[in-house]
Structure 1
Amino acid sequence: MCTCEAEVFRTKYKQVGVDCPDRIVSVEENLARWEKMLDGTYAEGTAVVRLKTGMQAKNPAIRDHIIMRISEAPHPRIGTKCRVWPILDFSWGIDDHLIGVTHILRGLDLQKEGEVERMIWKMMGWPDREMILYGRLNFSSEYKLSKTYQRQKIQEGEFVGWEDPRTWSMQSLAKRGIQPEALRETLLDLGLSKRGIDFDKSWVYAKNTKLIDPQSDRIFFVQNPLKMHVTGIPFDHLVAKPLINPSLPEKGTREIPVPVEGGLLEVYIAKADLPAITVGNHIRLKDLFTIEVTTMGKEIQAKFFKKELEEHDEASKIQWVKVQDNIKVKILQPDGITTTGFAEKTLATMKQGAFAQFERYGYVRIIKKQKGSIQCYFIN
């Protein structure tokens, strides 16, 4: 039982490796002081129980380490019933023995706690345990893993709950469509290295892609859409037949009817494709036909060039969505950015909760279907 002031103990005894006066107090006096800790004679911070780990230990952090202290703050479950509480590493040492733990996996930052546990086991004559330490898995500020911050955003109504992708919680990963196997395989690949690792979400995304790709039908999607007018089309009606899933050609194709009125077709294309579009060059509207760009501007003008796609055709391929027949899409990303655009109408036939791959954008999950619009979460 030590009644030294904390700062005095640290500077006068602990740092220089000198025994404090209370170290030689008799057993009877120790027991009397223990009763005073329990009955309230000693106030919080005026007395502690120390383990005689040795004041000459090489690591100053474990010299006569505190194992019990007074706390008068109410406990969330038992209130003020108890006022003397064990320090974490002391309770670990007792619990790990009593419940029969054989292997302890613990962060490298808790190495000191492991040393204290081993001292307790040795003093009590208990068997040692296998203790495996691993380095920190570091997350950048991108992930915002603060529960306080996330709870505040939920209470303020900015986040829709713990399933909101911006929380990066386990609930949000599941809601987005990140498979448990992807997380498990990623962590197994990382192993238990003692070297700190900076986490990269691409590791999980790569694993997840392999798992969800077979069930993710392809969908045309244009982000930040621009209107394009195509004239001179020598057909009254066309049907685009893109593959449902190029990775599984046996699933066949989906059909996108394309009515043509007076040789004219209006489509949306993605703003991101503008660098590939210049007057006079040929562009392939994917799985439909090739056009020749005639005018650049707020709305792009083009004319029909050919329907057939030759084996060595070098025309750039771009996504497109019909102006008169599409569905509005909003995609919430983990960084909080909401992507908007138009998708082909096929998306409206898919069930809520289904996965899809928006070609040249990424994998998404349908979260909410409304009349004329669909809300998705970005997966990877």
Structure 2
Amino acid sequence: MTKPNNQPLIAIGFEGSANKLGVGIISHDPFTKKSSILANVRDTFVSPPGTGFLPKDTARHHRAHFTRLARKALSDAGITDPSTQISCVCYTRGPGMGAPLQSAAVGARTISLLWGLPLVGVNHCVGHIEMGREITGADNPVVLYVSGGNTQVIAYAERRYRIFGETLDIAVGNCLDRFARTLEISNDPAPGYNIELLARKGAIRGKLLYLPYAVKGMDCSFSGILSAADLLAAQMREQEAKIARGEEVSEEERFTPEDLCFSLQETVYAMLVEITERAMAHVGSNQVLVVGGVGCNERLQEMMGQMAKERGGSVYATDERFCIDNGIMIAHAGLLAYETGFRTPLEDSTCTQRFRTDEVYVKWRD
């Protein structure tokens, strides 16, 4: 059913590219061009300390919670007849982990058929960017997109989000997550958050350990830093074993998990600030928008803010409701595309682990 032109358009969005299953509902007013968040619910698959989340286990989690979260979102939004009140069903097409993506996509296709509504496949990265722009009001910023699976410096030009720099191997969030496994730090609520808490304690001591600084032009590399941090963690355990045996270890040589987390954060975030500043100089922007799960990190925001201030600019970031993977960002980006006439035919409603940010034609921006 086509909604009257004077009625707000409403979209439901499903995000399931990694260990978070999110469902969001948003409305766009065609006259005021303002958005209203009607529902934003999420459930996270948490694996035991020292482990990561496997695709099959994460997909099982998404299948188990999909219906419950969809019902909760509809209830929160006050939607009683979705087939007439909702305009489109949006889902994450990629990038992400294959099995979790498929679980959310199958659920979205089922709901599309059940309610007789069109589908809109959304690029996960573009979802983060558009949600960040909507929440913060950033006009045309350089975007630092940092998460467990992606690290990119992005700027908009000629209806595409152009990638100016990115990771050459693993993402910065993956680097932090894997080091949390090395230290057997809890994954609840998130390994990166728990590293941040330890790093704050390490900042008080101020013991900055040497780690490789791997900036290559506009790109970064994090795998070597992770290997070096793992070696330091092994040395720390040797020190602890010596102390337990009664052997002496000097205070100058000794370091703690807090020192390791502090050193890792300072190094990788300094790299990100450098390539972001270079992109800002290239495009002539004084705005930085930080999006993605790692964007919640207060130390990263602080370092980026200091750099932007020195350039006479400002940094924009969102809180954990919107920077961590969520369904509302998929609903918002999907509805922007829907309003330009974009649809994803049922026979093409696939998902893919490889879907680059600059592949998306951003028709809704000038």
Structure 1 length-normalised TM: 0.25
Report the structure, 1 or 2, having the larger strand content: 1
Question: Higher RCO, 1 or 2 (CA under 8 Å, sep at least 6)?
Answer: 2
Structure 2 length-normalised TM: 0.26
Report the structure, 1 or 2, having the larger helix content: 2
